[in-house]
Amino acid sequence: MSNFKIGLLCILLFSGFTEKRAKTGWISFDEAARLSRTERRPILIDLYTDWCGWCKQMDKKTYSNMHVADYLQKKFYAIRLNAETRENIQWKEHLYKYNSRYGVNELSLLLSGGKLSFPTSIIIPAGSMDPIAIPGYLEPKDFEALLTYFGDGSSEKIGFEEYEKNFKSSW
Q: Is the pLDDT of residue 7 over 50?
A: no
Tens digits of residue pLDDT in 58-116: 999 999 999 999 999 999 999 999 999 999 999 988 999 999 999 999 999 999 999 99
- CATH class for the domain made up of 21-165: alpha beta
Tens digits of residue pLDDT in 112-127: 999 999 999 999 999 7
- The pLDDT of residue 52 is 98
How far is it, in rounded angstroms, from Cα 98 to Cα 102? 9
How far is it, in rounded angstroms, from Cα 9 to Cα 104? 47
- Each domain of the chain, given as residue ranges in start order, spans 21-165
CB 47, CB 81: distance < 8 Å: yes
Q: Is the pLDDT of residue 17 over 60?
A: no
Pairing of β 43-48 and β 120-124 = antiparallel
CB 52, CB 84: distance < 8 Å: no
Q: Is the pLDDT of residue 10 over 60?
A: no
Task: Give the count of beta carbons closer than 10 Å to the beta carbon of residue 22.
Answer: 16
Tens digits of residue pLDDT in 103-157: 999 999 999 999 999 999 999 999 787 999 999 999 999 999 999 999 999 999 9
- Average of per-residue pLDDT values in the chain: 89
Q: Is the pLDDT of residue 160 over 60?
A: yes
Q: Is the pLDDT of residue 28 over 90?
A: yes
Q: Is the pLDDT of residue 9 over 70?
A: no
